[in-house]
A and B are shown apart, each in its own frame.
Chain A
């Protein structure tokens, strides 16, 4: 019986050398390695070609814009002559708009620092990864926290006269209230959509909304002395 052994054991991952292999499923690994097998395309040439076409279209658009509109050039830099208003590049005008309301430590350091920190930690918190509707679990407590935060934030923005940030906040809060009143069994598809949205979705959407509104206000609606102007009346 001792010469009846017709296999050898060993560790090998090459299908050519050892065509028949035994898989050991340990307690920590799942036997279901791949859930779905789906159609793939080859990077060369399909994906590279599509990427090249996308970039080509973008380049054509940018060349067209550059031929139609010239880059601005003003007079020589003059430290003794401050333009009014002096504006930062457009992507910082949201920050500059906040500087109008809050001291520089808050608007210029604390807020951008917190935004960057918040962006970095998003994927490291399970609540952002799990993606369950915000009010679908632990409803009472979450509703309470939500209402307290929403009211406190609104009062805060109101008391500092930050109406440009208050309006987007109130709009997002309104949608969140609608989400709280909806469930995954609601009749309207939009209400089901709202009910399925997790906390991270609401925070990011609020951030995006504020970013767009503050940047637009800083760019188009601010004139001399950072006073409010209507862009179509100048």
Chain B
């Protein structure tokens, strides 16, 4: 009898080399499937089991997952874009133009990075509101909500710093408008803008700073907080599965929790 693909895969998982890499071993029993998650440094951020109800589309609309999806697409396309880009003025503009007209698939690469960035900003807001409306910020999830707010700010900063990099009119003036807002802060406003831009105006120094922030610092900080975000979901007891508000009918006859004996 010919072997099925699954049997080949199981055989592969049983080989010495595979087993030296992946610690979970062969087998598809619930225990082995749990081990796949537990014994993997990346997967062990997640719980081994999830309530079936929380997997339905209506529970989360998969918005957190999709936000992560856009982030992964952005990292991949971003690394490829870095291969063609010099963060100096006006070379940056020439490089972007080359991506648009010379590099094969460069236009596609750039478009995918840009639209995914817009999608990520949209999705992260949508995820936040969805989490709010299903009441999933409630204790013990308070701190994961706070981490979420940090991730929201990181996403906005990532998008904002990336906006300058093409060094075209759109980029230049959008960042000028934005950095003028920062300078409105009392006392420290001008200092903040000077620190952000490396000068009083958007110039070549600003481009370099935004490049370092956009390609190094912010992605690393974002990954760090995303890892904590996922790990906290497991530690806080898995996805919040209660009703965001008491059912309307149930609220009419409120249940009073039993008083503890003193």
A binds B: yes
- Among the 9-residue stretches A9-17, A69-77, A155-163, A168-176, the one with 4 or more Cβ atoms under 8 Å from chain B is A69-77
Q: Measured between C-beta atoms, what is the minimum distance from A77 to chain B in Å?
A: 4
B55 within 8 A of A: yes
* Alpha-carbon gap, A72 to B177, bound state (A): 19
Please determine whether B47 and A43 come into contact, CB atoms closer than 8 angstroms. yes
Q: Measured between C-beta atoms, what is the minimum distance from B120 to chain A in Å?
A: 10
Please determine whether A129 and B33 come into contact, CB atoms closer than 8 angstroms. no
**Complex interface: chain B residues within 8 A of A123 (CB):** 137-139, 141-142, 145-146
Q: How large is the interface on B (under 10, 10 to 19, 20 to 34, 35 or more residues)?
A: 35 or more
Please determine whether A42 and B55 come into contact, CB atoms closer than 8 angstroms. no
Please determine whether B52 and A92 come into contact, CB atoms closer than 8 angstroms. no
Contact with A along B182-225 (1 / 0, CB 8 A): 11111001000000000001110000000000000000000000
Interface of A is mostly: helix
Which residues 44-62 of A sit at the B interface, judged by CB distance below 8 A?
Answer: 44-48, 50-51, 54-55, 58-59, 62
Residue on A nearest B257 in the bound complex, by CB: A30
Q: Which of A87, A107, A119 contacts B174 (CB 8 A)?
A: A87
Please determine whether A74 and B129 come into contact, CB atoms closer than 8 angstroms. no
**Complex interface: chain B residues within 8 A of A109 (CB):** 181, 184-186, 189
B78 within 8 A of A: no
Q: Report how many residues on chain A are interfacial, defined by Cβ distance under 8 Å.
A: 77
Q: Which of A39, A62, A76, A184 contacts B169 (CB 8 A)?
A: A76
Which residues 122-146 of B sit at the A interface, judged by CB distance below 8 A?
Answer: 125, 128-129, 132-133, 135, 137-139, 141-142, 145-146
Residue on B nearest A54 in the bound complex, by CB: B62
**Complex interface: chain B residues within 8 A of A201 (CB):** 133, 245
Q: Which of A38, A79, A83, A89 contacts B53 (CB 8 A)?
A: A38
Please determine whether A83 and B55 come into contact, CB atoms closer than 8 angstroms. no
B85 within 8 A of A: no
Which residues 203-226 of A sit at the B interface, judged by CB distance below 8 A?
Answer: 204, 208, 211
Please determine whether B174 and A196 come into contact, CB atoms closer than 8 angstroms. no
Q: Contacts A42-B30, A104-B184 given: A83-B169 contact, CB under 8 Å?
A: yes
* Alpha-carbon gap, A73 to B53, bound state (A): 45
Please determine whether B251 and A122 come into contact, CB atoms closer than 8 angstroms. no
Which residues 67-120 of B sit at the A interface, judged by CB distance below 8 A?
Answer: 68-70, 72-73, 89-90, 93, 96-97, 100, 107-108, 110-116, 118-119
Please determine whether B90 and A91 come into contact, CB atoms closer than 8 angstroms. no
* Alpha-carbon gap, A43 to B50, bound state (A): 6
Q: Measured between C-beta atoms, what is the minimum distance from B91 to chain A in Å?
A: 11
Q: Contacts A50-B55, A59-B69, A74-B169 given: A99-B181 contact, CB under 8 Å?
A: yes
Residue on A nearest B148 in the bound complex, by CB: A119
* Alpha-carbon gap, A10 to B47, bound state (A): 30
* Alpha-carbon gap, A99 to B182, bound state (A): 12
A23 within 8 A of B: no
Q: Measured between C-beta atoms, what is the minimum distance from B199 to chain A in Å?
A: 12
Please determine whether A104 and B180 come into contact, CB atoms closer than 8 angstroms. yes
A124 within 8 A of B: yes
Please determine whether A73 and B168 come into contact, CB atoms closer than 8 angstroms. yes
Contact with B along A108-121 (1 / 0, CB 8 A): 11000000100110
> Which residues of B approach A to under 8 Å, CB–CB?
30, 33-34, 36-37, 43, 46-53, 55, 62, 65-66, 68-70, 72-73, 89-90, 93, 96-97, 100, 107-108, 110-116, 118-119, 121, 125, 128-129, 132-133, 135, 137-139, 141-142, 145-146, 149, 152-153, 156, 159-160, 163, 166-174, 176-178, 180-186, 189, 201-203, 241, 244-246, 248, 251-252, 260-261
9 further A-B pairs in the complex, CB-CB below 8 A; given A38-B241, A40-B52, A133-B251: A39-B53, A65-B115, A71-B110, A71-B115, A77-B202, A83-B173, A95-B181, A131-B245, A201-B133
> Which residues of A approach B to under 8 Å, CB–CB?
27, 38-48, 50-51, 54-55, 58-59, 62-63, 65-67, 69-79, 81-83, 86-92, 95-96, 99, 103-105, 107-109, 116, 119-120, 122-124, 128-129, 131-133, 184-185, 189, 192-193, 196-198, 200-201, 204, 208, 211
